[in-house]
Amino acid sequence: MANCIVNYGFSSFILFVWMAINIFLFVWFYFFYDLGPQFFYTRHILGSALAWARAPAAVLNFNCMLILLPVCRNLLSLLRGSFVRCSRTMRKQLDKNLTFHKLVAYMIGLMTAVHTIAHLFNLERYNNSRQGVYDELSTALSDLADTENTTYLNPIRITNLIPTYFGFTSIAGLTGVVITLALILIITSSMEVIRRSYFEVFWYTHHLFIIFFAGLVFHGAGRIVRSQQRTNPPHNTTFCKDRPDDWGEIPECPIPQFAGGFPQTWMWVIGPMVIYICERLVRFVRYMQSVRYKKIVMRPSKVLELQLIKNGFKMEVGQYVFVNCPAISQLEWHPFTMTSAPEEDFFSIHIRSAGDWTDKLIDIMKKVPEGAEGPKLGVDGPFGTASEDVFDYEVSMLIGAGIGVTPFASILKSIWYKFKDSDPKLRTRKIYFYWLCRETHAFEWFADLLQVLEKEMEERGMGDFLTYKLYLTGWDQSHATHVMVHFDKDTDVVTGLKQKTHYGRPIWDKEFEQVRKENPTSIVGTFLCGPEALGKVLEKKCAKYSDVDPRKTRFYFNKENF
């Protein structure tokens, strides 16, 4: 339990504040509309459905304001930079931006449902009231027309209407249907199954949010939620509600006047919309900046390495960039972690064949002749992720699964450079590196790097700075036989490295125990780039092996995922 607080405390606090604001808005506006005297006559026709429609509307305003903010990656990058002097926990929250975006989206979906259902009741009741189905007071109220000295309450002005007709001819109704439809399409195409398999469908359909926000801003323009205005002399509802026939004839009951509520949604969303437009402009400007090729290398296992140069490009370890190739698709930007170190004069990315876009890119690059420039590329970034923090921890555990090792390639290279320059800024004393991979031939480009590091460390006598363990999870009988035969060779048969390859998955309990034993008083940062399932396992182990006592070992889990 205590470990939970250490690891999840701040996120829970943010969620608690968000939920509290939602509940507050809902309850406040519910009672505003359910008890407010200016809505007495409105409520007479509509009942509590009025409040049930307006309360989620307020929550929707708040959440539609919030939803654009977590996806402004340049803004978040800026915020991250300014938090450099703040605590580690603050910066970790910005990693959870996508989780928050989804949560807000769910809330929007839920509130839309409540809002729509309540308004269905409202429309039905207004329509019935207009046709004289309800009591005398309702009919009298609905008859009030929009002339020189009367104003209407019931937005349905014709007597032989069906609700569907009103739904599609009023501003609120039409915009409501259109934006709800857009929302449903966005949600169904954002389901995990679709998003992971066909990113393009998800990305293009998601742009329906433009229609969503456009409709949302105009949704209240019709001002159909009407409240009673003050008249001179005042209209006493308690006295006059039983005498609709006498309105305008006796002094206590002048004809009641109504006016629609001022549309407020635009006030909530205009700020974030402007911020988002700026975000897209920044991305566009970055796209226009020229990117030159230094080298194109085809690696085994359909991995492409691109070494690129861009003016004024500054990166930190483990950051990622978004890459766009107009020759393949104008609108698509795909994220890739950089595999080069900041000390180099170029930046490189390793791209694995994983779908339509990457396959096409690899095909195009294969056809580029030796030494020539490749197709025009746009690069947006760099954007920071958790890996930036690795040098802040005295002890770090780096875990990369398959191609997820890429941010760590950047880190290890950077270590190598820092060692060569004896950089005093290096706070890290010890690094444990775990690479899990299924097949042997994907090792090659990384094995070269490890070999060089191994040699360097031996030369400088820094053997135990970096401890790395390689796990081959896709072994079979032939592998085992091969290893048995070459058992007593000095270097590993698979990678040629001094440290032997392990087979199967790591036993995390043993690993964490070992790290804890070797570093009894440190704060250990655990970094993962790999599948969700592994992330959950590691998160649990971090919580399990952390001590609440700040003098003893504590494990902090950082996840990077796309």
Partner 1 sequence: MGKIEWAMWANEQALASGLILLTGGIVGVAGQFRGWQFAAYAVAAGVFVCLLEYPRSKRAKGTSVERTGQYCFTVCVKAFGPLTRNYYVRAFLHAAICVPGGFMLATVLGCVCLGIASLIYLAAAIRGEHWEPILPRKEIRKPVGESIKNPPQNPPPRPPPEMRRKQAGDLEKSAYDNPMSVTDDE
User: Cβ of residue 200: shortest distance to partner 1, in angstroms?
Assistant: 5
Q: Quick one: which of 541, 536, 525 has its CA closest to 561?
A: 536
Least separation in angstroms between residue 116's CB and partner 1 is 7
Member of 18, 198, 287, 445 binding partner 1 (CB under 8 A): 198
∠ CA 231-233-236, rounded to 5°: 80
499 is a contact residue toward partner 1 (CB under 8 A): no
Burial of 237 (0-12, 13-18, 19+ CB in 10 A): middle
When the beta carbons of 268 and 471 are compared against partner 1, the nearer one is 471
Contact between 533 and partner 1 (CB under 8 A)?
no
Q: Does 124 bind partner 1 (CB under 8 A)?
A: yes
Stretch that binds partner 1, among 176-184, 379-387, 425-433, 438-446 (CB under 8 A): 176-184
Distance in Å, CB of 532 to partner 1, minimum: 13
State both tokens at 31.
């009672």
The residues in 128-147 that bind partner 1, with binding defined as CB under 8 A, are: 128
- Minimum separation from the CB atom of position 198 to partner 1 (A): 4
Report how many helices (DSSP H) and strands (DSSP E) the chain contains, helices first.
20, 14
d(CA 397, CA 176): 51
Q: Which stretch binds partner 1 (CB under 8 A): 74-82, 115-123, 389-397, 554-562?
A: 115-123
CB of 243 to partner 1, least distance (A): 30
- Tokens representing 135 are 């009591």
Ramachandran region of residue 525, left (φ > 0), alpha (ψ -120 to 50) or beta? beta
Q: Which is nearer to partner 1, 164 or 514 (CB)?
A: 164
CA-based angle 155:161:162, to the nearest 5?
105
The piece of 24-32, 89-97, 193-201, 519-527 that touches partner 1 (CB under 8 A) is: 193-201
Which of residues 125 and 235 has its CB atom nearest to partner 1 in the complex? 125
- Least Å distance, CB 368 to partner 1, is 22
171 makes contact with partner 1 (CB under 8 A): no
Shortest Å, Cβ 104 to partner 1: 19
Helix axes 49-67, 265-288, angle to 10 degrees: 20
Q: In this chain, which stretch among 123-131, 308-316, 364-372, 414-422 interacts with partner 1, using CB under 8 A?
A: 123-131
Query: Does residue 127 bind partner 1 (CB under 8 A)?
Result: yes
Could you say which of 12, 48, 197, 289 contacts partner 1 (CB under 8 A)? 197
Task: At 461, list the tokens.
Answer: 């006598």
Q: What share of the chain is helix, strand, coil (3-state, %, to 5)?
A: 55, 15, 30
Provide, rounded to whole angstroms, the least separation between the CB of residue 119 and partner 1: 9
Helix, strand, or coil (residue 386): helix
3-state secondary structure (DSSP) of residue 152: coil
Q: For residue 88, what are its two tokens?
A: 């580690």
Under rule CB under 8 A, residue 162 binds partner 1: yes
Q: How far apart are the first and last CA of the chain?
A: 29
Tokens encoding 257: 């006047």
For residues 351 to 390, the per-residue mask of contacts with partner 1, x marking binding by CB under 8 A and - elsewhere, is ----xx----------------------------------
Identify the residue whose tokens are 């399932």.
533
Is position 288 an interface residue for partner 1 (rule: CB under 8 A)?
Answer: no
Q: Which of 304, 315, 322 is nearest to 341 (CA)?
A: 315
When asked if residue 193 is in the footprint of partner 1 (CB under 8 A), the reply is yes
Asked if 83 touches partner 1 (CB under 8 A), the answer is: no
Of the residues 194, 259, 282, 493, which one makes contact with partner 1 according to CB under 8 A: 194
187 binds partner 1, rule: CB under 8 A: yes
Q: Does residue 262 belong to the site contacting partner 1 (CB under 8 A)?
A: no
Write down the H helix ranges in 293-443.
Answer: 356-367, 406-420
Nearest to 22, CA basis, from 90, 92, 114: 114
- State the number of binding residues for partner 1 (CB under 8 A): 32
Site for partner 1 in 475-494 (CB under 8 A): 487-488
Q: Which is nearer to partner 1, 191 or 285 (CB)?
A: 191
Helix axes 532-545, 508-518, angle to 10 degrees: 40
- Do 232 and 180 contact (CB within 8 A), yes or no? no
Of 21, 171, 177, 457, the one binding partner 1 (CB under 8 A) is 177
Euclidean distance between CA atoms 120 and 295, whole angstroms: 62
Question: Do 389 and 525 touch, CB atoms closer than 8 A?
Answer: yes
**CB 178 within 8 Å of CB 170:** no
Where on the chain is the footprint of partner 1 (CB under 8 A)? 113, 116-117, 120-121, 123-124, 127-128, 162-164, 167, 177, 180-181, 184-185, 187-189, 191, 193-194, 197-198, 200-201, 355-356, 487-488
